[in-house]
A and B are shown apart, each in its own frame.
Chain A
Amino acid sequence: MVEKKTLTIMLASAPFGSQYADHMCRVALRALEKGHSVEIFLYGDAVHAQMNQQSPKLFFPVGMKLQELIGKGAKVYSCEICSVARGYITGQLTPDGKKDYSSTKVLDGVQFTTIFGFVESLARADKVLSFGGG
């Protein structure tokens, strides 16, 4: 019996411009299938992976795979500031003092956080991987 561990992954490259998002999705899927917990942090242009209704046709279907990962239990966090900058959310304070993370453009199940949230994910991780950005 394999001991369940936590794998934290940062994706820092946009989907479709390179294969990093493809590789990340495949690795994350195998980790889940082997019984591990997976936390994914989308950073910089990688937040475009969270866009719903992607229709890549000949490219690896990153959005569909990300949704599949969420369905299998992966936690997908997206950088709030990166997402505001790219028009996915406003991040503005609502009347009750919470940040507005509502969006019609984002896959179901994606959660928004800051880089400090990523640090918390690192603290929970047994192993950490980074894809792209270099």
Chain B
Amino acid sequence: MKSCILLMKLPCTEGESWRIGEAIRAKGDTLFLLGDAVESGRKEYRGHASSIVSGALSREAKVIASARDLRARGIEASELQEMIEIVEDIEGDFINVTMEHADRVIAW
């Protein structure tokens, strides 16, 4: 079963709800970081959300962050954990994965 999760919440204020990201378990799963959620991809971030992101990457799942939202928050690509993909059209990629590939989709 391929899972796709779209996270939008600010990581430091939504502790428990970020556990939904633990559903990203394997290669073929995809975690999308949109809006405030892009903060969780920062190397220096130490909250639980960071371990969700690094855990997904270590399991060879894709983690994709919104370039638009990174720019809006002044976050450079070099500040992100390695292997996080940055895309301009994250909504387009999300729809492709959601409608064509994923068996389970969660937006949170």
Contact = CB atoms under 8 A, between A and B. Distances in A.
A23 B91 CA distance: 8
B34 A5 contact: no
B92 interface: yes
Contacts of B108: 134
Interface of B: 6, 8-9, 17, 34-36, 89, 91-92, 94-96, 98-100, 102, 105, 107-108
A34 B35 contact: no
A131 interface: yes
Contacts of A86: none
Contacts of B36: 19
Question: Which of A3, A7, A30, A34 is most buried by chain B, counting CB atoms within 10 A of its CB?
Answer: A30
16 contacts: A2-B100, A3-B100, A5-B99, A7-B98, A20-B8, A23-B34, A23-B91, A27-B91, A31-B95, A34-B92, A36-B99, A127-B98, A128-B105, A129-B6, A130-B107, A131-B8
Q: Is the interface of B mostly helix, strand, loop or mixed?
A: helix
A76 interface: no
Interface in A1-59: 2-3, 5, 7, 19-20, 22-23, 26-27, 29-31, 33-34, 36
Given A23-B34, A23-B35, A30 B95 contact: yes
Interface residues of A, number: 23
Interface of A: 2-3, 5, 7, 19-20, 22-23, 26-27, 29-31, 33-34, 36, 126-131, 134
Given A20-B8, A134-B108, A34 B91 contact: no
